[in-house]
Amino acid sequence: MLHKDIFEELMSESEIEKTVSEIADRINADYEGKTLVVVGILKGSCVFFADLLRKITVEDCQIDFIDASSYGGGSASSGNIKLLKDVNCALPGKDVLIVEDILDSGNTLCFIKEHLLEKGADSVKICTLFDKPSRRKKPITPDYCGKVVDDLFIVGYGLDYNERYRNLPYVGVLRSEIYS
């Protein structure tokens, strides 16, 4: 149910499903025959991560999670990255695919990508459902991207505002009076 007083729909359930399938097809082609570790960034990527993972057909595939934050309770990245949970699996000899809900400033993903390379990953690529390049502070681009968005505050399908709205099956633009 779309709460028109709070959101304007940006991406419907059916659009999300089609986009996730297209991204998975590219990942399957690129990682065929390789050892892949798919790393979800908690908490925001959880819904996208689960849907994407079910469509990945790479035989030698492991999953892990990392939790890092730079937002706190605000609507913009603070730039101060806190690693709350690290990956558990050994990374040397493996290709890593980071799965994130949105690439915004790039602060968190730059930090995580460098961290995973330091842990010995052969390669680290980034998959994000949404890319917001207008807010970029670090020189980073996703290897796999579902949709480029303007500088809007979006929620749903794992994306949140103050831990709310993650459970929505679509993505909506949160009206500014909600978070201002």
Q: Which sequence positions are flagged as catalytic? A: 104
DSSP state of 149: -
* Measured distance CA(1)–CA(52) in Å, rounded: 23
* Measured distance CA(43)–CA(2) in Å, rounded: 22
* Measured distance CA(167)–CA(145) in Å, rounded: 21
Between the alpha carbon of residue 28 and those of residues 101, 102, 111, 114, the distances in Å are 19, 21, 26, 24
| C-beta of residue 27 within 8 angstroms of C-beta of residue 137 | no
Partnered with residue 108 across adjacent β-strands are none
